[in-house]
Structure 1
Amino acid sequence: MRDGASRLMRGDRLERIVVAGGGITAWCAAAAIKRRAPFLDVTILACAAAPDALADRIACTLPSLLGFQEDLGIGVADGIVRTGSGYRLGTLFAGWATGLPDYVHAYGRYGASFGPTAFHLHWVRSAQDGSAEPFDSHSPAAALARAGRFVPPTANSPFADHEFGLTLDVPRHATMLRAFALHVGVREIVGEIAGVTLDADKAITSVDLADGSALCADLFIDATGPQARLRGTIDAVRDDWSAWLPCDRVLLAEPGGEPAVLTTVTAHEAGWRWSSGGQAGFAYASHAISDGKAARVLRNASGATPGEPIRIRPGTRPQPWQGNCIAIGDAATEIEPLEWCNLHLALSAIDRLITMLPGRVATSVEVAEFNRQTRAEAERVRDFLAMHYRTARRDDPLWRSLAATEPPASLAHTLAQFAERGRLPFHEEETFARDSWAAVMIGQGFLPRRVDPLVSAIPVASVRAAMAHQASAIAAALPHVPTHAAYRAAQTRHLTQ
């Protein structure tokens, strides 16, 4: 009896996984699965990287990449310094609210809580009586970023608890991830997909290659970009987000400069453009500007010639996991790179898969829960990006139309709660902290109508004194922090000594 049970358990065990794709997303998936589940046979089908996969091409990342690499055992030397990455503390938004100053969305806290209420609620009271300094002046990370300085979180200083992302040298980072994946035991097969064979239940039985061979597995991970060359053979069901996220084209250019600690995002009548040092881009709505004119806008701004336009279909697959195939990255969700979420969503899906690894055949409850969480996270990212357009203050036809468009119900609820008393509802699968939501809405002049009653528990004078003390502590510490360039140079020297 025990032998029969053992054979049954072995027969039900997940053994073979194939990851299809040639970019950062695919190598992250293969490396993470093999590293954290070394008993699995993990093969990557390294087909040509999709030129329209933004998760594989955008240089700016959120802080989640650092945690992802740390979990795998990729340290600062290999994951940052040797790959030529720069540190990112946030994004400067320019021209998003006419008549208001530019503002910074930084990674980390804004101010410090007073009593039972969040800092931004006290700031709102100060704004109503005219005594408030700019909201981002209370962010240690924003102060560092505006000054072009960088230091990791440092105990017993104003810079003790901020977060930071990276600006990647994308080819070098992909090379590092490939080397790491092969080191931990991932098997690489270089080839091109010629077709996909499905069984009667629309499960993949094999991925057929151009050389006539075929790859079989228990589970297939589709990281092939927007074409979703595996998952797309099962169905084409997608949720369309174009009503709220207008940019359906992206141009990229490589000016060749040093990575910037603060990425600048400048609004344009047809979308927005950005510069992160080594990479520049322009995300735009094709009905508002021609591809040729968009290329001239980016060339004039960056001094570099952009490549071909990348098409985006804003939206997501409500069921990225179907049968024995899971879509991640652009194969699951396509969004413009505003706030740099493309790679983050892929990494989150990889982590979610590893924590929910199925048997040889996944049960319906496992698939449904993965899809529920993944969709909820993607929709909340959609809401955060759409909030930028909904609360912006520009008089261009595109922007007026977006501000007048009825938002998704979940975003409408968030905006209504914030507009009344500055409250931000809790969501389970939330990428951005409450301080991030507050930073963008306040930065764009979307302020609550009323003050939260709880702020009156702290006297106005006490709050003003505490705010002034926090700001002065940041200002006093700032000159002692190295510039971003100096910090990177010191790391490089330390590595080569």
Structure 2
Amino acid sequence: MSAADRIDHVLVVGGGLTAWYAAAALKRRAPFLTVTLLATPPAADALADRIACTLPSLPGFQVDLGIGEDDGVTRTGAGYRLGTRFVGWAEGRPDYVHAYDGYGHPIGSAAFHLHWVRAAQDGTVAPFDAFSPAAHLARAGRFVPPTPDTPFAGHDYGLTLDLDRQRAMIRAFATHVGVIEMPGEIEEVSVDARGFVTGVTLIDGRTVTADLYVDATGPAATLREAVDEEWRDWQAWLPCDRVLLAMAPAGEGATVLTEVTAHAAGWRWSSGEQRGIAYSASHLSDADAAAMLGTTADAVIAIRPGTRPCPWRGNCIAIGDAATQVEPLEWCNLHLALSAIDRLIAMLPDRHMAEVEAADFNRQTLAEAERVRDFLAAHYRTAHRSEPMWHTVAQAAPPPGLAHTLAQFAERGRLPFYEEETFTRDSWAAILLGQGFLPRRVDPLVHSTSPGDVHRMMARMTDAIAAALPHTPAHAQWRAAQMRRLAR
């Protein structure tokens, strides 16, 4: 690429975590760029910026930027998360844990969950999450990082953020590596006949131009909406179109296991430092939702479940809530934004903004968003609740990817895997089996090992976890030890 072809200036617009992470990553990983962040007021309805729970992708993203755990986690007051406990999603069944870990290990030539299905049909097996070391840690309120030569060697972890401190950290990092911060509010976005953004006029009269524009303004998508308004609606499969957030009472620390409890019109959660409720406005009023939350809540956040099939058009790329909006079930909002930032940097365009490059970015981004949609929709599709909202969404014809996955699993427990998956096969199995969605037939591969041998292997797995668990610290103890280490 010649110097004349290379882009020089990127304008990132937005004031929340998504914008700051985008600007920091662009400058850190493409230092030849001039990266300006137009710090518009943070969007109150941008869930990627406002949900405290994260997937394991955030710690990994920080490491890629050169932000160590001391700065990205400990000094920002973040807690560690090992998974989510689902309560009331399948009436008549116990709660279950979706942990960021493997569940058992293959036996013979068959995946562990296939052996578990055979044992479950015989009525002689512990719950599926009993075979996840991280699920045991999480239920006990304990935490250790992956530790070789122990049962706790293979798990991953997300975070529960102190959002204000996290934003202050990444803002300081971004400006340290050379991002230029420009406070302002947008008056007008200029777009030419090709659909390229040509400039942004601020309310104070200034005009800002760039080679590439990154829209991290939240659902308003202030830049990207000026190009086109194409949108795919997902509400038939993701029914919750409202969220209320509130702070937990003083003294409650971050929990290593986030509890998500279903209710008649959606679900509610508590992460220790933040609590919230997601619900369908057609089935629950805002006032009743606030009453269920049990504390003073922020303003109602309206969600338009769906995605922008072409987040990259011309020289403008939408990320975060500007590209995809989903309820925060499974905590995917910030994850999708970080994934888009990685993809943008890997596919960084030149001045030609070749359509073939944008098309591949859009293909991958849409595929990832749709598989996240399928994973979230699977919770509703396989739930066992009798209320009208749940009945309606369970009866809706599923999207093709989810229909294929459920059909394969329902027949003999096989889990197809798509190119742009966020969640592992073990995660899919944890949700489906936890909600009682069992295959009709046992996979023939399991017959290579006798039921008795499998039972003994399963017992050894759970015994090893039980023996190691008392030697792990409580989550609060681990966090306190990390703070003491920094203070020395």
**TM bucket by the smaller chain?**
over 0.9
Question: Which residue in the other structure is 2:145 paired with?
Answer: 152
Which position in structure 2 is the counterpart of 1:434?
425
1:397-408 equivalence runs, <5 A: 397-408=388-399
Take 1:307 and 1:346, find their aligned partners in 2: how far apart are those partners?
23
Secondary structure at the counterpart of residue 4 of structure 2: helix
SS in 2 for 1:117: coil
Q: Read off the aligned partner of 1:38 and give its amino acid letter.
A: P
2:310 corresponds to 1:289: no
For residues 232 and 328 of structure 1, the distance between their equivalents in structure 2, rounded to whole angstroms, comes to 12
AA aligned to 2:370 is E
Report the counterpart of residue 378 of structure 1 in structure 2: 369
Per-residue CA deviation, residues 45-77 of structure 1 (Å, 9 max, x unaligned), is 011000000000000000000110000000011
Partners of 1:153 and 1:286 in 2: CA distance? 41
Q: Does 1:27 align with 2:20?
A: yes
CA distance in 1, matches of 2:225, 2:380: 30
Deviation at 1:199, TM superposition (A): 1.4
Letter in 2 for 1:416: A
- Structure 2 regions of 5+ residues with no counterpart? none
SS at match of 1:30: helix
Deviation at 1:381, TM superposition (A): 0.2
> Tell me, what secondary structure is at the counterpart of 1:445?
coil
For these two proteins, the number of residue pairs brought into alignment is 486
Contact 1:91 1:104 in 2 (8 A): yes
TM-score w.r.t. length of structure 2: 0.99
Cα distance in structure 2, aligned partners of 1:185 and 1:451? 58
Alignment RMSD (CA, Å): 0.7
Percent identical pairs in the alignment equals: 65
Give deviations 1:119-143, integer Å, cap 9, x for gaps.
1001001101111100000000000
Secondary structure, aligned partner of 1:180? helix
Aligned pairs (5 A) from 1:77-88: 77-88=70-81
Provide the residue aligned with 2:258 in structure 1: 263
- Match in the other structure for 2:243: 250
Indicate yes or no: 2:272 matched with 1:277. yes
Separation in 2 of the partners of 1:117 and 1:215? 58
Query: Quick one: which amino acid aligns to residue 39 of structure 1?
Result: F
Residue 342 (structure 1) shift = 0.2
Distance in 1 separating the partners of 2:299 and 2:32: 42
Identify the range of structure 1 (84-93 vs 397-406) with the bigger mean alpha-carbon deviation. Answer: 397-406
| Matched letter for residue 179 of structure 2 | V
Structure 1 runs (4+) deviating above 2 angstroms are: none
* CA–CA distance in structure 2, aligned partners of residues 410 and 156 of structure 1: 38
| Equivalent residue for 2:97, pick from 101, 104, 121 | 104
**Hey, what does 1:5 align to over in structure 2?**
none
Bigger mean CA offset, 378-387 vs 359-368: 359-368
1:492 matched residue in structure 2? 483
* Residue equivalent to 2:234: 241
Aligned-residue offset at 1:208: 0.8
Match runs of 1:9-408 below 5 Å: 9-255=2-248, 256=250, 257-299=252-294, 304-408=295-399
Query: Which amino acid letter does the alignment assign opposite residue 356 of structure 2?
Result: V
**Alpha-carbon distance in 2 for matches of 1:297, 1:426:** 38
Cα distance in 1 for residues equivalent to 2:19 and 2:161: 16
Normalised by the length of structure 1, the TM-score is 0.97
AA aligned to 1:407 is P
Is the Cα–Cα contact under 8 Å of residues 191 and 209 in structure 1 kept in the other structure? yes
1:282-301 Cα deviation digits (max 9, x unpaired): 000001011001000001xx
Q: SS at the partner of 1:221?
A: strand
* Superposed displacement of residue 361, structure 1: 2.4
Which amino acid letter does the alignment assign opposite residue 228 of structure 1?
A
8 A contact 1:14–1:361 mirrored in 2: no
Structure 2 counterpart of 1:184, one-letter code: V
1:440-496 CA-partner distances (Å, limit 9, x unpaired): 000000000111111111121111111000000000100110000000000000001
Separation in 1, partners of 2:383, 2:152:
30
Does the 8 A contact of 1:324 with 1:361 survive in 2?
A: no
- Which letter maps to 1:334? Q
Structure 1: where are the runs of 5+ without partners?
1-7
CA distance in 2, matches of 1:342, 1:493: 32
Structure 1 residue matching 2:218: 3-state secondary structure: coil
Q: Kindly provide the amino acid, as one letter, of the partner of residue 146 in structure 2.
A: P
Cα distance per residue 1:361-394 (max 9 Å; x no partner): 2111100000000000000000000000000000
Inter-partner Cα distance in structure 2 for 1:209 and 1:349: 26
